[in-house]
């Protein structure tokens, strides 16, 4: 079946937002692997503002298909500026919806982006907890 | 933007002359071959001429060409038709792990109906071993089906040797020649072939037309029952325009076209292998389809690469899981021993009779760029 | 000599506009629907548009149209596919004695595979009785297949009533609408139809294209296994040009065309029945296909009459034994109670959207002459 | 299958030779019936010449398909002027050959013509025997 990606998906595939790495990030999330054909790495820069942990900057690297790349791209846009709690709750359906839909068979690809962000937030929380405990 | 079509193994443009040959059979000589009157006779004359011409190409003196709706129908017909008609003789069928889905899925269906199927392995270049083949033959083997050339990696199988072995053991031999027909010589008699599948849309003919050559005397049951057209082998009003187009396409395939495909293929292979961490799947030289180039690129996912190239106007295909409905990487790439991550990064380019050197150069440039961009995007790059 | 085509029930001329609509899909947008790139997307878009348009014509909101190679494939697919997929539920199938050969021969094949088939009789006009139908339903009945309109004598069956009865008994209902599609209204929902066979070459579209409407949720096994095209129901590279032509043909069939067929049919019936010792087979009026006229002439053998008319440029058809491979007179004519000698002298004329009054007048004149000549030649005349 | 009749068959179908009846014929043969779709009647006028029975005139009527009509027509031509013995030995294959071939499925139709002639000759011989015996 020819994949019928919409304009917005293609725009994010062509010009992924927030693609790249953050040097010395506050947190990193990595999910997927080469064997299953999709893998993502998320880099976070977190800032405390009014007592809240805000995602100040986010970058990603993705190995995967068009859907994987486009959902990572849009998800990073969606979470930027959000608190970690808010970001954690952005599910896969949100990214697909924000993209205006994905081919049915491709819906599974949108899981990975939110999982990668959750992994990065988990990483941040773990590090932070450790810091607190070590203080 | 110039658009460059390098997916001729998937399907081809209908040649303008082929369309011209078909046209009268749509609007003027549009009759039903089964009719008694002049329109019927005109249709029958045209279809029989097409049948003779196509049959001549493959030295089919002892064979009948039965027209079908395409390669998939022909393969289903061959496997199921032989199985059902010869099940008193035995219930074992031999095929390979790298057949087209239609052979594999027809075989699986037969397994559910009480047949026993052996799927032969292939080596890293995709070749079936004649020794394995001979070793798989049992007393109750009725049919062996081995493709002439593989649609993904272009391997040309040693059908002459296999056919000979099959016949020595009184096993019927079928070959799926959808990819090779008119491009790689085949001789139904010398190659000991009892049944051969061909189709039209891979050689600049129309879609929805194919055929099955059947050696006279072979017992086979129809797949489509009905009015008894095509010598009783395949019922349904015969698609005369399509058949005339198919014959014209066969006639038009000339040595120079094949030489061009081959030359362009080789330019592509040479250039693509200069890219870092790339490799060729399938064999080199004589034993490779003249129009097939199949590469792997490390750290690349095939669908993303195909769409990247598509944005640059280039058409190619991939065996990546992401591009398939099953979300499994290509069974062919798995069978030649690629790891899943290698299979994901595979791309097939298939050249055509109209492919130019300039198109190949542009494609190589685009390919280099796309691979670089995607690798940069990747956490493994 | 003007040539007059009155065999539109056998096949039709492809309308020039249909061919025009198809042309781009041969030579420009020639892609394989399964491809990821732009060519693939164009092909898919075109086929999906065609699918939607055709489906709308028959109120197929709960149905999927699966494209096939024609009526024969669709009927084989429907019968065998439903039988195999539902054999745990039961092994009984109901059909009629007057179905097209493809339904009958697929049924006979299923009988050899352990299914039990009831062939319902019809009355002298070719109608199936709803009471007979209801009476034939058993606990293990899984499918009933009754044609919408008969291809020989033009009888339009009471499918709405039959469909309702089938559904009351939880039996799937299939109808072969090859002759009636676009000419006689049908509504998949209101007529309780689970599966419906249609084809293109009877309505000024190309040969080699057809479809099967399948109600969503109906369990059916594919006939052609392979790459999983057409929602997994029918594998094989999709014939996009053909499908586009089919949709265009459906779109082009207008009320005025049907009215013309009907008017010409009635002129023909009126004139032919003035010939001595002639009669009409099939019903009159509303319950008859708008383009079908079917006569018997005493002391006449059909093939000789058809060829006589052919010499005068007129195309018609016959159910005479002499014109068939089996040398049996038409099963339909036998089923309506004609004696063999009556069946031998049968002729079908099927009018078209382009048939003119002048053509009918010339045909009637020729018919009178030919009948007279042949009767004079006969020892019975 | 469209029937592919050759020119000669069509010529005999279009213009059957010796079609019609002989008033007060010397013999008549009738074979076939309406049910099977083919029937033929042969009328003979026989003349004694040099002690031999010669077919002087022959006419036929045929109900049947193109092959039936054409084979009767050509068979009557073939036997005209022949002795009864010669005519009796003209088999079905001869008519089909003389016509330049028939579609395979139609070969059976050519039986009837020679059978009808044989029936007429039988009729003649029966009558003649009777005459002799009655003298
Ligand atoms: C090797 C091979 N076999 C069979 C097929 C199926 O043929 P078709 O698309 O005509 O059904 C194809 C192409 O699709 C093929 O490449
Ligand atoms: C009633 C009916 N069913 C089925 C068919 C078979 O359709 P096709 O010729 O498209 O295979 C025909 C016509 O041939 C028909 O008239």
Task: For residue A130, name the pLDDT band (cuts at 50, 70, 90).
Answer: low
Task: For residue D134, name the pLDDT band (cuts at 50, 70, 90).
Answer: very low
Degrees to nearest 5, angle at CA C224 with C221 and C230? 80
Residue A131: per-residue pLDDT: 57
**Over residues A119-126, mean pLDDT:** 95
**Over residues B298-326, mean pLDDT:** 87
Residue that the structure tokens 């009927």 belong to = C75
Dist CA B261 CA B289 (whole Å): 9
How buried is residue D29: exposed, middle or buried, by Cβ count under 10 Å (0-12/13-18/19+)? buried
Dist CA C344 CA A20 (whole Å): 82
For the beta carbon of residue B160, count every other beta carbon within 10 angstroms.
15
Nearest CA to B31 out of B275, B234, B250, B238 is that of: B238
- As a whole-number percent, the residues of chain B with pLDDT over 70 amount to 98
Over residues B135-177, the pLDDT tens digits come to 999 999 999 999 999 999 999 999 999 999 999 999 999 999 9
Over residues D71-89, the pLDDT tens digits come to 999 999 999 999 999 999 9
Is B215 close to ligand 1, i.e. is its CB under 6 Å away?
Answer: no
pLDDT < 50 regions, chain C: none
Strand partners, B94: B118, B144
Dist CA C49 CA C40 (whole Å): 14
Residue B324: per-residue pLDDT: 61
Dist CA B137 CA B115 (whole Å): 14
Nearest ligand to the CA of B147 is 1
- DSSP assignment of C85-99: HTTTT--EEEEETTS
User: Which of ligand 1's atoms lies nearest the C-alpha of B208?
Assistant: 10
Rounded (10°) CA dihedral C28, C30, C33, C37: -60
Q: Packing angle between helix C302-311 and helix D7-14, nearest 10 degrees? A: 100
Domain with CATH 3.40.640.10 in chain B: 16-252
Residue A134 inside a domain? The answer is no
Residue D1 inside a domain? The answer is no
Q: For chain A, give the mean pLDDT.
A: 89
Residue pair B366/B325 in contact (Cβ under 8 Å)? The answer is no
Taking CA atoms, A22 is separated from A12, A19, A60, B170, C56, in Å, by: 20, 10, 9, 68, 54
Pairing mode, strands B116-120 and B92-96: parallel
Task: For residue B327, name the pLDDT band (cuts at 50, 70, 90).
Answer: low
Dist CA B294 CA B195 (whole Å): 28
D partners (3+ CB pairs within 8 A) are: B, C
How buried is residue C254: exposed, middle or buried, by Cβ count under 10 Å (0-12/13-18/19+)? exposed
Nearest ligand to the CA of C211 is 2
- DSSP assignment of B180-248: TTTTS---TTTTT-SEEEEESTTTTS-SS-EEEEEETT-----SS-SS-TGGGTS-S---HHHHHHHHH
Degrees to nearest 5, angle at CA A69 with A67 and A70? 65
pLDDT > 60? residue B260: yes
Over residues D85-119, the pLDDT tens digits come to 999 998 778 899 999 998 887 877 778 889 999 99
User: Which of ligand 1's atoms lies nearest the C-alpha of B207?
Assistant: 10
Task: Tell me if chain A has a CB within 8 Å of the CB of B301.
Answer: yes
Quick check: B377 and A30 CB within 8 A? Answer: no
pLDDT > 60? residue A56: yes
Pairing mode, strands C92-96 and C141-145: parallel
Taking CA atoms, C53 is separated from B153, C50, C56, C65, in Å, by: 39, 5, 5, 10
Domain extent for D21: 7-127
pLDDT > 80? residue B48: yes
Is C211 close to ligand 2, i.e. is its CB under 6 Å away?
Answer: no
Q: Length of chain A in residues, anyone?
A: 135
- Structure tokens that stand for D43 in this block: 């009328």
Residue that the structure tokens 């099963």 belong to = C331
Active site residue D65: no
Nearest CA to C235 out of D66, D80, A21, B69 is that of: B69
**One of D1, D36, D131, D135 is an active-site residue; which one?**
D36
Residue B84, classed as helix, strand or coil, is: helix
Q: Packing angle between helix C16-27 and helix B16-27, nearest 10 degrees? A: 160
Is C240 close to ligand 2, i.e. is its CB under 6 Å away?
Answer: no
Could you say which of 3.40.640.10, 3.40.50.1820, 3.90.180.10, 3.20.20.70 is the CATH number of the domain covering C16-252? 3.40.640.10
Backbone phi and psi for residue B146, each to the nearest 5 degrees, phi listed first: -130, 125
Residue that the structure tokens 């017992």 belong to = B219
Q: Which residues contact B113 (CB under 8 A, 6 or more apart)?
A: B83
Rounded (10°) CA dihedral B16, B21, B26, B32: -150
Dist CA D35 CA C340 (whole Å): 5
* Structure letter (DSSP) for residue A49: E
Which residues of chain B from 161 to 220 reach within 8 Å of chain A, CB to CB?
none
Residue D93 maps to which CATH number? 3.90.1010.10
Task: For residue A135, name the pLDDT band (cuts at 50, 70, 90).
Answer: very low
Q: For chain B, give the mean pLDDT.
A: 96
Residue B72, classed as helix, strand or coil, is: helix
Residue pair A75/A88 in contact (Cβ under 8 Å)? The answer is no
How buried is residue B63: exposed, middle or buried, by Cβ count under 10 Å (0-12/13-18/19+)? buried
Task: Name the domain count of chain A.
Answer: 1
Mutate to test the pocket of ligand 2, among C70, C159, C177 (most ligand atoms within 8 A of CB): C70
Residue D133 inside a domain? The answer is no
Q: Please name the residue of chain B whose CA is at the shortest distance from the CA of residue A20.
A: B377
Quick check: B227 and C102 CB within 8 A? Answer: yes
* Structure letter (DSSP) for residue A105: G
Lowest mean pLDDT among A1-5, B278-282, C94-98: A1-5
Residue pair B374/B301 in contact (Cβ under 8 Å)? The answer is yes
CA end-to-end distance (rounded Å), chain D:
57
Residue A96, classed as helix, strand or coil, is: helix
- Structure tokens that stand for D125 in this block: 């011989």
User: How far off is chain A from B50, nearest CA to CA, in Å?
Assistant: 32
Residue pair B246/B14 in contact (Cβ under 8 Å)? The answer is no
Residue pair C6/C350 in contact (Cβ under 8 Å)? The answer is yes
Is C147 close to ligand 2, i.e. is its CB under 6 Å away?
Answer: yes
Task: Tell me if chain A has a CB within 8 Å of the CB of C29.
Answer: no
Quick check: A62 and B321 CB within 8 A? Answer: no
Dist CA B280 CA B125 (whole Å): 10
Q: By alpha-carbon position, which residue is closest to atom 9 of ligand 2? A: B237
- Structure tokens that stand for B312 in this block: 């640059």
Domain with CATH 3.90.1150.10 in chain B: 4-12+254-377
Strand partners, B145: B174
Active site residue C322: yes
User: Which of ligand 1's atoms lies nearest the C-alpha of B9?
Assistant: 16
Nearest CA to B334 out of B326, B323, B342 is that of: B342
Could you say which of 3.40.50.10490, 3.40.50.2300, 2.70.98.10, 3.90.1150.10 is the CATH number of the domain covering B4-12+254-377? 3.90.1150.10
Taking CA atoms, B300 is separated from B79, B155, B267, B343, D3, in Å, by: 37, 24, 22, 10, 61
Taking CA atoms, B339 is separated from B153, B331, B346, C200, in Å, by: 15, 11, 11, 46
């Amino acid at each position: 079946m020819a994949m019928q990606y919409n304009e917005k998906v293609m725009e994010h595939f062509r010009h992924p937002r927030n693609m790249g790495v953050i040097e010395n990030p506050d947190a990193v999330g990595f999910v997927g692997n080469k064997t299953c054909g999709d893998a993502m790495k998320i880099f976070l820069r977190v800032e405390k503002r009014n007592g809240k942990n805000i995602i100040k900057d986010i970058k990603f690297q993705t190995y995967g298909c068009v859907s994987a790349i486009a959902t990572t791209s849009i998800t990073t846009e969606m979470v930027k500026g959000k608190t970690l709690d808010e970001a954690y709750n952005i599910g896969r359906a949100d990214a697909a919806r924000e993209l205006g839909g994905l081919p049915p068979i491709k819906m599974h690809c949108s899981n990975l982006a939110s999982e990668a962000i959750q992994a990065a937030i988990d990483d941040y929380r773990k590090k932070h907890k450790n810091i607190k405990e070590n203080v | 933007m110039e658009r460059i079509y390098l997916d001729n193994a998937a399907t081809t443009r209908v040649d303008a002359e082929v369309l011209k040959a078909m046209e009268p059979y749509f609007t003027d000589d549009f009759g039903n071959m089964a009719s008694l009157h002049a329109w019927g006779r005109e249709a029958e004359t045209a279809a029989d001429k097409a049948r003779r011409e196509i049959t001549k190409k493959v030295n089919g003196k002892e064979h009948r060409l039965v027209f079908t709706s395409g390669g998939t129908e022909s393969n289903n017909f061959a496997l199921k038709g032989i199985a059902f008609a010869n099940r008193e003789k035995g219930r074992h069928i031999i095929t390979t792990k790298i057949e087209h889905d239609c052979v594999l899925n027809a075989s699986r269906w037969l397994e559910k109906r009480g047949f026993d199927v052996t799927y032969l392995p292939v080596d890293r270049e995709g070749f079936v071993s004649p020794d394995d083949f001979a070793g798989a033959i049992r007393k109750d083997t009725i049919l062996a089906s081995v493709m002439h050339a593989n649609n993904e990696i272009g391997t040309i199988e040693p059908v002459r040797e296999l056919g000979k072995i099959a016949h020595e053991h009184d096993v019927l031999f079928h070959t799926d020649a959808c990819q090779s027909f008119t491009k790689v010589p085949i001789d139904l008699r010398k190659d000991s072939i009892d049944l051969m599948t061909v189709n039209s849309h891979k050689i600049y003919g129309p879609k929805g037309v194919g055929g099955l050559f059947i050696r006279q005397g072979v017992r086979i049951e129809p797949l489509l029952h009905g009015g008894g057209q095509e010598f009783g082998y395949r019922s349904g009003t015969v698609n005369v325009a399509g058949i005339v187009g198919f014959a014209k396409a066969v006639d038009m395939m000339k040595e120079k076209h094949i030489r061009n495909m081959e030359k362009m293929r080789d330019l592509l292979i040479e250039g693509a292998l200069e890219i870092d961490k790339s490799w060729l799947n399938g064999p080199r030289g004589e034993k490779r389809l003249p129009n097939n180039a199949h590469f792997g690129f490390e750290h690349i996912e095939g669908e993303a690469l195909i769409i990247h190239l598509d944005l640059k106007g280039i058409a190619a295909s991939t065996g990546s899981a992401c591009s398939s409905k099953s979300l499994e990487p290509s069974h062919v790439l798995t069978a030649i021993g690629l790891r899943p991550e290698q299979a994901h990064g595979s791309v097939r380019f298939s050249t055509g009779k109209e492919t130019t050197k300039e198109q190949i150069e542009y494609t190589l440039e685009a390919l280099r760029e796309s691979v670089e961009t995607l690798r940069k995007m990747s956490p493994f790059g």
